[in-house]
Amino acid sequence: MSADITIPASLIGDPTRAAFLLALAEKDGLPLSDLARRADVSNSTASIQLGKLVDYGLLAVERHGRHRYFRLSSSAVARALRALAVIAPAAPVRARPANGIRAARTCYDHLAGQLGVSLLDALRRERLVRAKGSDVELTPAGRKRLKGLGVDLAPTRRPLTRLCLDWSERRYHLAGALGAALTQRLFELGWIERGSGRAVRLTSKGRTGLRALGLQS
């Protein structure tokens, strides 16, 4: 292999820039202010670091009026981040607040954060979903169990299951039509409830209910 990986490795290896990349692997088209908040840096610092990622070609930027929106420049960058997430050690527990947006939140219309990652782990342990290539698929047992829970599994145009890289946990949570339908049903059952912004809270009822899906408290 003759490729020189030192430059992209040094760019991705910076904690602030890594936070930007992982956030954009989860949600496309984020403004500078949002990325700065996620990385806990000032807007001026974010601007400098994002500029380095754009200059090298890891990120693309679009202007809408006075605002700039950033996204990963290609699917190759997304694949590289997924590969790194697989071999990277888990973030120290002390770096993960017990409450707030990192504990549980919505990512578009599905569940993310520590709760979202743990739920996917539980579905795998219970064999309700299983690996399919680089993604997952719903098993017959999973279809039966989730239909019994009242999850809407009617066909839609979007893929039923899709893995989404979680920016705070650096692991995957469940997206796709199933991720959205399951999240919606958890809200309807009162097992999770909305907090501030995109934050979500797991209720005591939900803690009990999700044990049936294999979630370990």
Name the least confident of 71-80, 122-131, 138-147: 71-80
Q: What pLDDT, on the 0 to 100 scale, is given for residue 37?
A: 84
Q: What gap in Å lies between CA 128 and CA 56, rounded to an integer?
A: 41
Partners of 163 in the beta sheet?
Answer: 174
Question: Which pLDDT does position 96 carry in this prediction?
Answer: 43
What pLDDT score does 92 carry? 52
Q: Is the pLDDT score of 194 beyond 60?
A: yes
Whole-number Å distance between alpha carbons of 21 and 28: 10
**Which of 191, 184, 187 is CA-nearest to residue 211?**
191
- The CATH number of domain 6-88 is 1.10.240.10: no
Find the distance separating the first CA and the last CA of the chain, reported in whole Å: 45
The domain limits of the chain are 6-88, 105-213
Q: Which of left, alpha, beta for 27 (phi over 0: left; psi -120 to 50: alpha)? A: beta
DSSP string, 129-168: EEEETTEEEE-HHHHHHHHHHT------SS-S-EEEE-TT
CA dist., res. 186 & res. 183, Å (int):
5
pLDDT at 104 over 90: yes
If phi over 0 gives left and psi between -120 and 50 gives alpha, with beta otherwise, what is residue 132? beta
The pLDDT of residue 94 is 40
The whole-number pLDDT of residue 175 equals 94
Pair 97, 159: CB distance under 8 Å = no
pLDDT, tens digit, 9 for 90 and up, residues 30-64: 899 889 888 888 889 999 999 999 999 999 999 87
pLDDT mean over 124-151: 94
Distance CA 86, CA 197 (A): 29
Q: Please indicate whether residue 217 or residue 82 has the higher confidence score (pLDDT).
A: 82
